[in-house]
């Protein structure tokens, strides 16, 4: 087959893979968007730390179990193992920061800062460690979506009206965004070395679970002493953790960390809508305008991807 005739076939396969990857990431993001609202149904006295530890500790073990053989192969590969250990540390820190950010700043604002900052961190990782050059389309889409996050946050209200809690929630959200982008970037690096998306995610989350489960044991009594606490914990561990991160891993393999984290901004829209409809938080006209900007950014980046990873 000549080079000319082969090129359209390759482009078609590439476009199909990118579209499939986008759908995987958006599906994962929709599931993640339920976490903050579901967490509000935890028993009174259950801390954000225990909820985060239960979610990704139990969920991390499930994710590891789904692809145990492949995950162990990642840990036996000395190049991938180093990345997995760093990624495991990101998995350890991420839920503690994320759920604490929501506890201090509210579901909508905590989620928005966390997820809204992650594409910028992912871009920095790819630029400094890989020398990647991201497309103008990605930059415009991310700028629109991030601006939307800023606008949405500016129109929100902290749970208890405390500016100090809001500021602390924002700082914790940034820590969450940096570690979320870190685990996404490191999982992508492991996939580039020939490991499957399930194996990469299983290795990272299995290692993270080793640190999170002791934290759960130390802080989880108020959460796990009641039936509703178990229901919340198991839902968070299975659906927005295990299932969603397996979907996210499959999507990352096709679209890369920077595009994947930008697409995951869809979570903020789901979280904000649920926080209003279910939790009773308030978002003004300014905040809803921010959601429109986020939606525009997602449409722009979904139409054509600027940075992908071939299968």
Do the domain assignments include residue 8?
no
Distance CA 142, CA 139 (A): 5
Here the tokens at position 10 are 């390759």
Residue 311 lies in a domain: no
Predicted local confidence at residue 145, as pLDDT: 73
Contact 9, 228 (CB under 8 A): no
Sign (positive or negative) of CA dihedral 120, 121, 126, 128 = positive
Q: In the chain, how many domains are there?
A: 1
User: What pLDDT, on a 0 to 100 scale, did the predictor assign at position 294?
Assistant: 75
Question: Considering the domain boundaries, does residue 12 fall inside one?
Answer: no
310 part of a folded domain: no
Which of 54-68 are b and which e, b meaning 16 or more Cβ less than 10 Å from the residue's Cβ? bbbbbbbbbbbebbe
Burial of 292 (0-12, 13-18, 19+ CB in 10 A): middle
Residue 5 lies in a domain: no
**Does residue 253 lie within any of the structural domains?**
yes
Q: Tell me, what's the pLDDT at 155?
A: 60
Give a three-class secondary structure readout of the chain: CCHHHHHHHHHHHHHHHHHHHHHHHHHHHHHHCCHHHHHCCCCCCCCHHHHHHHHHHHHHHHHHHHCHHHHHHHHHCHHHHHHHHHHHHHHHHHHHHHHHHHHHHCHHHHHHHHHHHHHHHHHHHHHHHHCCCCCHHHHHHHHHHHHHHHHHHHCECCCCCCHHHHHHHHHHHHHHHHHHHHHHHHHHHHHHCCCCHHHHHHHHHHHHHHHHHHHHHHHCHHHHCCHHHHHHHHHHHHHHHHHHHHHHHHHHHHHCHHHHHHHCCHHHHHHHHHHHHHHCCCECHHHHHHHHHHHHHHHHHHHCCCCCCCC
Average pLDDT per block of 10 residues along the chain, 311 residues long: 40 62 88 85 88 91 93 94 96 90 78 78 85 74 74 58 75 92 94 92 95 94 92 93 89 81 78 75 70 72 48 35
Whether residue 54 lies inside any domain: the answer is yes
Domain around 99? 19-303
269 in a structural domain: yes
Whole-angstrom Cα distance, residue 216 to residue 61? Answer: 13
CA distances from 18 to 2, 127, 130, 180, 307 (A): 25, 21, 20, 21, 10
Q: Would you say how long the chain is, in residues?
A: 311
Residue 145 contacts residue 297 (beta carbons within 8 Å): yes
d(CA 149, CA 234): 30
- Residue carrying the six token digits 């902290």: 158
* Whole-number pLDDT of residue 4: 38
The distance of Cα 4 from the centroid of its chain, to the nearest Å, equals 40
């Amino acid at each position: 087959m000549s080079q000319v005739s082969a090129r359209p076939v390759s482009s078609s396969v590439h476009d199909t893979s990118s579209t499939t990857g986008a759908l995987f990431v958006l599906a994962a993001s929709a599931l993640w968007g339920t976490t903050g609202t579901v967490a509000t149904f935890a028993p009174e006295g259950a801390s954000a730390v225990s909820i985060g530890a239960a979610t990704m500790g139990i969920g991390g073990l499930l994710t590891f179990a789904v692809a145990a053989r492949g995950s162990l192969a990642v840990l036996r590969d000395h190049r991938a193992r180093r990345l997995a250990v760093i990624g495991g540390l990101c998995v350890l820190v991420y839920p503690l920061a994320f759920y604490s950010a929501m506890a201090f700043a509210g579901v909508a604002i905590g989620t928005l800062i966390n997820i809204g900052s992650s594409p910028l961190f992912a871009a920095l990782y790819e630029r400094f460690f890989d020398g990647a050059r991201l497309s103008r389309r990605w930059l415009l889409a991310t700028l629109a979506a991030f601006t939307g996050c800023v606008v949405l946050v500016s129109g929100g209200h902290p749970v208890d009206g405390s500016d100090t809690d809001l500021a602390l929630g924002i700082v914790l959200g940034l820590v969450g965004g940096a570690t979320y982008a870190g685990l996404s970037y490191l999982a992508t690096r492991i996939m580039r070395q020939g490991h499957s998306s399930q194996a990469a995610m299983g290795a990272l989350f299995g290692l993270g679970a080793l640190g999170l489960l002791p934290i759960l044991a130390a802080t989880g009594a108020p959460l796990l002493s009641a039936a509703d606490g178990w229901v919340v914990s198991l839902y968070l561990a299975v659906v927005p953790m295990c299932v969603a991160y397996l979907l996210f891993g499959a999507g990352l393999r096709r679209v890369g960390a920077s595009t994947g984290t930008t697409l995951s901004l869809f979570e903020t829209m789901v979280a904000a809508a649920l926080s209003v409809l279910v939790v009773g938080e308030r978002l003004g006209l300014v905040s809803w305008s921010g959601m429109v900007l986020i939606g525009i950014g997602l449409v722009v980046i979904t139409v054509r991807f600027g940075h992908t990873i071939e299968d």
